[in-house]
Structure 1
C-alpha cells in the first residue's frame, strides 16, 4: 500500500512539474530549497564531491540506480530514503512529501542536464 501511495504521489508531482506552469515555480522553489539544504553539500550542480562518477546527471543515474529507466522517480525516491554507501538515508530526516519533491527535482534537473 505504501509503495502504491509513493507511486501515486510521484505521478501527481511529475504531472504538476510537467504541465502546470504557475505551480512549477513554487514546486521547484520548494524542491530546490530542500535539495540545497540537504543534498547540495555533496551534489552541488548535480555533481558528487565524494565519488566523482556517481553524479546526478542522467547518464550516471541510469548506470547506478536500479530501475532508473523504467521507473526513474521511484528509483531516486528509494535512494533518498535508504541511502547507499557514502550517501546517508533521509527517510528519518525528510517527510515523504519532501522526499517526493526532491526526487522529482533531481529527475527534472537530470533530464535538463543540470
Structure 2
C-alpha cells in the first residue's frame, strides 16, 4: 500500500512538472533598460529596421520559431545573419532579462 501511494505521488509530481508552464526567470524591468541601450536602435517598438519581416511581434516570433524566452535568449547570445552576438557584451543574467522583456512585450503587442 505504501508503495502504491509513493508511486501515485511520484506520478502526480511528474505530471505537474511536465505540464505546468515555466515561470519567466528574467527581470523584465531590467531587460527594458538593457533593450533600450543595446537593441532599440534596430528593434524600436518591436520592429526590425534591418529585415522588416522579422520583427519582434508575436506572430513573427511564432512564424520563425522564436516565441519563447529560451529561443530569444539564444538569438541574443549567438546572433544570426545581420544580428550580432551579444555573448561578449552582455552577461547571462542580462541576456535572460532582455529575453524576458522581449517575450512579455511581444505577448502584449508591444503596447
Q: Which TM-score band (shorter chain)?
A: 0.7 to 0.9
Larger Rg: 2
**Alpha-carbon separation, structure 2, partners of 1:100 and 1:107:** 10
User: Runs of at least 4 residues of structure 1 off by over 3 A?
Assistant: none
- Per the alignment, residue 20 of structure 1 pairs with none
Query: Where do 5+ consecutive residues of structure 1 fail to align?
Result: 1-10, 18-26
TM-score, normalization by structure 1: 0.72
Q: Deviations over 1:38-64 (max 9, x none)?
A: 000000000011111100001001112
* Corresponding residue to 1:94 among 90, 94, 100: 90
- Per the alignment, residue 43 of structure 1 pairs with 43
- Per the alignment, residue 56 of structure 2 pairs with 56
**Alpha-carbon separation, structure 1, partners of 2:96 and 2:72:** 9
Q: Deviations over 1:8-62 (max 9, x none)?
A: xxx55x16x7xxxxxxxxx433211100000000000000111111000010011
**Alpha-carbon separation, structure 1, partners of 2:33 and 2:39:** 10
CA RMSD of aligned residues (A): 1.7
Query: Where do 5+ consecutive residues of structure 2 fail to align?
Result: 1-21
TM-score, normalization by structure 2: 0.74
Residue-pair matches, total: 89
Answer 1 or 2: higher relative contact order, Cα 8 Å, separation at least 6.
2
